[in-house]
A and B are shown apart, each in its own frame.
Chain A
C-alpha cells in the first residue's frame, strides 16, 4: 500500500505562446508520502499545480489519479475524486465567517446543495465537525470572525482547515508557508505533519527548512523540467541543484 503510486504524470507539457512553462514532466507521487516540488522562481511549479487540477489545459501529456486518467476531467470533478488544492494567494471566502468558510466545505458531503427552498438551519449539524477542524488549526477564538479580518498566517490556517474538511485523499498545497512569520511557519509545519498522517501531500514550498523537515521525496524543477529527484540529502548534494539555486559560474 505504501509504495502504491497515487498520482502520476506522463510527459506533462504546457506551452504558452512561445514559452514552455512545463516540459515533459513525469512525476510519480507515492501514496501516503509528503512530496515537495521545489525550484527557483518561474520553474513551473504553480503551473504544474494548475495542470494537475485542470485549472489549465495541458498542451501534451497525461495525468493519472488513483490509476484512472483525469487529464480532461473538470476541476470540480477532480476535487470530488479526492484531489484537492490550496492556492498560493490565500484563498478564503473573505466576507464569510471562519465557521462558514469551513462549513461550506463540509456541506459538499451532503452532495450538491441545490436545495434553495430549505433553511440554512439544516447546516447547523455541520457546525460541530467544523468547530473540530477550526480547533485543530488553532482558530477556535476566531470562529465568528469574518475571514477578511484574520491576519495572514491565520488565513492560511483557515484555508488548510477548509481543505481538510473535504477529507481529501490527496492535498496539493501551494506554498503553504509563503509570507508567514516564524511562529506561523512552525504552526503550519506541525499542522501539515499531522494532517498528512493518512493522506498524501504534494506541496510547492520555498522554505527549505520546511521542505527538509517534512518531505519524503523532493522533485526539483528548473525552467519547466525535472532537474533532480530524491530525498533531501541526495537532492541537496546534487551539483546541478546547487548550481540552479546558487547560480554557480557557467
Chain B
C-alpha cells in the first residue's frame, strides 16, 4: 500500500510538471486516454469482463458534453457532468443487456451494442455526422476560471484525471472491490458464498462506463470537438491495447499504456498508416514476451503490486 501511495505522488508530480517540458495539449490527451483506460481496466482487470464496446461511453459523453456546452450553453462543469451522466445511463442500459453473458459472448454483445450506437450517431443530426460537433466552447469553470487559458484547462484536466484515478483506486480497494476480485477469480465459488454476482458485475460495468464518460466529456472540452472517432470500434480496440500494454489488472498500467500509445500516435504521425503496423508489432511482442504488460512485469520484478 505504501509504495502505491508513493508511486501515486510521483505520478501526480510528473503530470503537474510535465507541461514545462512537453506540449500541454499532448499531455491533456494522454491524461484523458489514461482515465479512459483506467476505467476500462477496472472492468477487465478487476472484474474479469472484457468489454469490446467501451468507445460508446467515451463517445456518448463527448457528444453530450459538446452539445450541451455549444447548443444549450452549459458551463463546463455542468457539460462534463451531463456527459458523464449520459454515459452512466447508457452503461446501465447496455450493462443490463450484456452482463448475463460471459467471456467472448459478453465481448460480442458489447461490440454489437457499440456498433448500433455508432450508426445511430452517424445518422442523427445533432452529432453533425462525419463533421462532428466542432468549435465547442470551453467556457468558464464555476463562473470564474476561464478555460480558454491553456494553463487553467491543463490543471482542470489534471484534477479530473487524478480524481477519477483515485475514485478507481478506492473502488478497487473497497469491500465491493474485494467481492469483484473474487468473481474474477472464481465466479461459481462467489455464487456459492451467496453473492449475486450479476449485480456486482453490473455495478462494476456502470462505474466503468461512468468514468469512461468522464474521460470522454473532458476530452470534448479539451479538443473542443466531439467526433465519430471516439465512438468507432477502433477506439474500443485501442483501449484494450493500452491496458494490455501497460498491464492488465495493475493500477498504474493503463496510464503507462495510454502514454505509450498516444506518444506513438503523436510522434510517429509522419509515418502515416505505418503507425497502425508499429502498434500491431508492439502488441504481438507484448503478448509474446511480456504478457503482464510494462507495469505488470515491473511489479512482479519488485514483488509489489503497482
Task: Fill in one digit per residue for B265-276: 1 if any A CB lies within 8 Å of its CB, else 0.
Answer: 000000000000
- Decide: B174 and A93 in contact? CB cutoff 8 A: no
- Decide: B186 and A79 in contact? CB cutoff 8 A: no
Q: Which residues of A contact B287 (CB under 8 A)?
A: none
- Of the listed stretches B151-159, B195-203, B253-261, chain A binds B195-203
- Decide: A116 and B182 in contact? CB cutoff 8 A: no
B177 at the interface (CB under 8 A from A): yes
Cα–Cα distance between A93 and B177 once the two chains are bound (Å): 14
Q: A104-B179, A104-B182 given as contacts; is B193 within 8 A of A117 (CB)?
A: no
Cα–Cα distance between A95 and B300 once the two chains are bound (Å): 13
A199 at the interface (CB under 8 A from B): no
Cα–Cα distance between A119 and B182 once the two chains are bound (Å): 17
Cα–Cα distance between A76 and B188 once the two chains are bound (Å): 10
Cα–Cα distance between A161 and B21 once the two chains are bound (Å): 55
Cα–Cα distance between A69 and B194 once the two chains are bound (Å): 18
A74 at the interface (CB under 8 A from B): yes
Task: Fill in one digit per residue for B236-255: 1 if any A CB lies within 8 Å of its CB, else 0.
Answer: 00000000000000000000
- Decide: B170 and A116 in contact? CB cutoff 8 A: yes
CB closest residue in chain A, given B189: A91
Min Cβ gap B48→A in Å is: 11
| Consensus secondary structure, chain B interface | helix
Min Cβ gap B102→A in Å is: 14
Task: Fill in one digit per residue for A64-97: 1 if any B CB lies within 8 Å of its CB, else 0.
Answer: 0000000000111101100011110001111110
CB closest residue in chain B, given A168: B194
- Decide: A113 and B179 in contact? CB cutoff 8 A: yes
- Decide: A94 and B175 in contact? CB cutoff 8 A: no
- Decide: A84 and B186 in contact? CB cutoff 8 A: no
- Decide: B170 and A93 in contact? CB cutoff 8 A: no
- Residues A74-132 near B (CB distance < 8 A): 74-77, 79-80, 84-87, 91-96, 100, 103-105, 107-108, 110, 112-120, 122-123
CB closest residue in chain A, given B42: A116
Cα–Cα distance between A84 and B193 once the two chains are bound (Å): 7
Out of B173, B186, B199, name the residue touching A119 (CB < 8 Å). Answer: B173
Task: Fill in one digit per residue for A45-76: 1 if any B CB lies within 8 Å of its CB, else 0.
Answer: 00000000101000000000000000000111
- Decide: A55 and B188 in contact? CB cutoff 8 A: yes
Min Cβ gap A165→B in Å is: 8
Cα–Cα distance between A80 and B193 once the two chains are bound (Å): 8
Out of B174, B176, B193, B196, name the residue touching A105 (CB < 8 Å). Answer: B193
A166 at the interface (CB under 8 A from B): yes
Cα–Cα distance between A162 and B177 once the two chains are bound (Å): 18
Q: Which residues of B contact A118 (CB under 8 A)?
A: 174-176
Q: Give 4 new A-B contacts, CB below 8 A, not counting A75-B192, A94-B185, A103-B178.
A: A95-B185, A107-B175, A114-B176, A116-B207
What are 16 sample pairs from A and B whose C-beta atoms fall under 8 A apart?
A76-B195, A84-B194, A87-B192, A93-B189, A100-B178, A104-B182, A105-B193, A107-B178, A107-B179, A108-B193, A108-B194, A114-B199, A116-B203, A116-B207, A117-B170, A162-B193
Residues of A within 8 A of B (CB): 53, 55, 74-77, 79-80, 84-87, 91-96, 100, 103-105, 107-108, 110, 112-120, 122-123, 162, 166
